Amino acid sequence: MVDETPPLFILTGPTACGKTGAGVELALRLGTEIISADSVQVYKYFDIGSAKPSPEQLAMVSHHLVGVAQPEEEFNAARFRDEALAIASSLWAEGKLPLVVGGTGLYIKAITQGLNLAGQIGEEAEAELERLWNLGGQKLLYEKLQKDDPEWAARIHPNDTFRTRRGVGVLLTTGRRMSQIFSANPDKPARHVLTLVMDIPKDILRKRITARVEEMMSKGWTEELNMLKEMGYNMAHKPMRAIGYKEMFAVHQGTMDPLDVKEAIVRGTWALARRQLTWWRSVKDSVIVSLDGEETAAMTAEVILSRDEVRKYFSLHGVKA
């Protein structure tokens, strides 16, 4: 018997784990389209440093929410939720399985769990978070959270950097505790979600991050940054504050040595990858897909499609792969 609950198929994981290529292969096998869940790829002109799908990949499979917003626009989780669900509805109407691919956890949570999006982090709060992190790292931030919002702190692991930063940041921005905000969460939407989390060995992931940063540099990331500056974009614009772009901009401003920029970007990207893994491993019912890191995109898709959880999910919704 086919389940009539609208399905959402999610492919996520840490940055540089190979989501984009695997997503394209899955979309081809499933005869569907991709909804991108990436908070930087959504912006126009920020191409190389956000690792947008290549022109060849974009030609092979339709990608939604890639390069759709001007850098001066506010594109947040609430807007993503509204636009992504409108696209998903169109795909459902065509008999297609919406495939969401990306690593921005808050975006995915917004469309899968009815996240209360009242708490956003402002620029001043972001700066204070960085100051506290530089003073005492995760330990200091978690201690502050324990003091200011003990109920929220008790719900998360002391090493959960993502939720710790968000808890402190939202309180600094809005004056509201995350425990207050989440007590007002709406019920979980009536969608049947299957979330696949790609996980590769940490040493392989670190090497892939380094290789990707080097590739971005060779593809003209510096020239892209020059173009963005000439267009008038700077640190006042949200995508310029993303990992990689903020370091490149610092070089152009003379506040970072060009010889240090690559390692700074690798270090920041690696920290992001760890936060993403912590986030997804804590998500209830997510399916961890362990890989050795040497698979091609097609091989990764085959591993995913062979999982019992995936086959049962497809059978339940009448999906053929």
**CATH code of 312's domain:** 3.40.50.300
Give residue-wise pLDDT tens across range 18-75: 999 999 999 999 999 999 999 999 999 999 999 999 999 999 999 999 999 999 998 9
Bridge partners for 290 per DSSP: 199
Same domain? 197 vs 287: yes
Question: Where do we find the tokens 């010889």?
Answer: 259
Residue 259 lies in a domain: no
Rounded to whole angstroms, what are the CA distances from 105 to 108, 234, 282?
5, 25, 11
What is the DSSP code (8-state) at residue 158?
T
Which of these three, 133, 154, 183, is where a domain ends?
Answer: 183
Residue 260 lies in a domain: no
Same domain? 295 vs 197: yes
Strands (E) in the chain, as ranges, are 7-12, 34-36, 63-64, 99-101, 192-199, 287-290
Q: Give the span between the Cα atoms of 222 and 227, in whole angstroms.
A: 9
Same domain? 216 vs 309: yes
Same domain? 70 vs 163: no
Q: Give the span between the Cα atoms of 137 and 252, in whole angstroms.
A: 27
Both structure tokens of 122: 């402002």
What pLDDT shows up at residue 195? 96
Q: Give the span between the Cα atoms of 4 and 316, in whole angstroms.
A: 9
Q: Give the span between the Cα atoms of 37 and 26, in whole angstroms.
A: 16
Question: Where do we find the tokens 């991050």?
Answer: 209
Residue 132 lies in a domain: yes
Residue 209 lies in a domain: yes
Counting the structural domains of the chain, the total is: 2
What pLDDT shows up at residue 26? 98
Same domain? 75 vs 207: yes
Residue 278 lies in a domain: yes
What pLDDT shows up at residue 283? 82
Same domain? 72 vs 157: no
Q: Identify whether the C-beta of residue 84 lies closer than 8 Å to the C-beta of residue 65.
A: yes
Q: Identify whether the C-beta of residue 102 lies closer than 8 Å to the C-beta of residue 183.
A: no
Could you tell me which of 53, 26, 30, 105 has the C-alpha nearest to residue 304?
26
Residue 74 lies in a domain: yes
At 164, give phi and psi (nearest 5°).
-65, -50
Same domain? 174 vs 196: no
Could you read off the pLDDT tens digit of each residue along the chain, which spans 321 residues?
556 789 999 999 999 999 999 999 999 999 999 999 999 999 999 999 999 999 999 999 999 999 999 999 989 888 999 999 999 999 999 999 999 999 999 899 889 876 555 556 777 888 898 899 888 888 999 999 999 999 988 888 787 777 788 889 888 888 888 877 766 555 556 789 999 999 999 999 999 999 999 999 999 999 999 999 999 999 989 999 999 999 999 998 999 999 999 999 999 999 999 989 888 888 888 999 999 999 999 999 999 999 999 999 999 999 988
Q: Give the span between the Cα atoms of 257 and 247, in whole angstroms.
A: 10
Residue 45 lies in a domain: yes
Could you tell me which of 89, 90, 94, 111 has the C-alpha nearest to residue 102?
111
What pLDDT shows up at residue 194? 96
Same domain? 23 vs 82: yes
Which of these three, 183, 214, 234, is where a domain ends?
Answer: 183
**Residues 266, 250, 170: CA angle, nearest 5 degrees:** 75
Same domain? 153 vs 89: no
Residue 150 lies in a domain: yes
Q: Give the span between the Cα atoms of 229 and 209, in whole angstroms.
A: 25
Same domain? 136 vs 215: no
Same domain? 75 vs 218: yes
Q: Give the span between the Cα atoms of 67 and 46, in whole angstroms.
A: 8
What pLDDT shows up at residue 317? 93
Q: Give the span between the Cα atoms of 99 and 10, in whole angstroms.
A: 6
Could you tell me which of 86, 88, 87, 79 has the C-alpha nearest to residue 107?
79
Q: Identify whether the C-beta of residue 214 lies closer than 8 Å to the C-beta of residue 262.
A: yes
Terminal alpha carbon distance of the chain: 18
What pLDDT shows up at residue 137? 86
Please report, for the domain that includes residue 135, its CATH number: 1.10.20.140
What pLDDT shows up at residue 130? 86
Range of the domain at 147: 123-183
Same domain? 103 vs 175: no
Instruction: Compute the half-sphere exposure of residue 235: CA atoms within 13 Å on the CB side of its CA.
Output: 14
List of residues 6+ apart from 141 with CB closer than 8 A:
129, 132, 133, 161, 164, 165, 168
Q: Give the span between the Cα atoms of 235 and 245, in whole angstroms.
A: 9
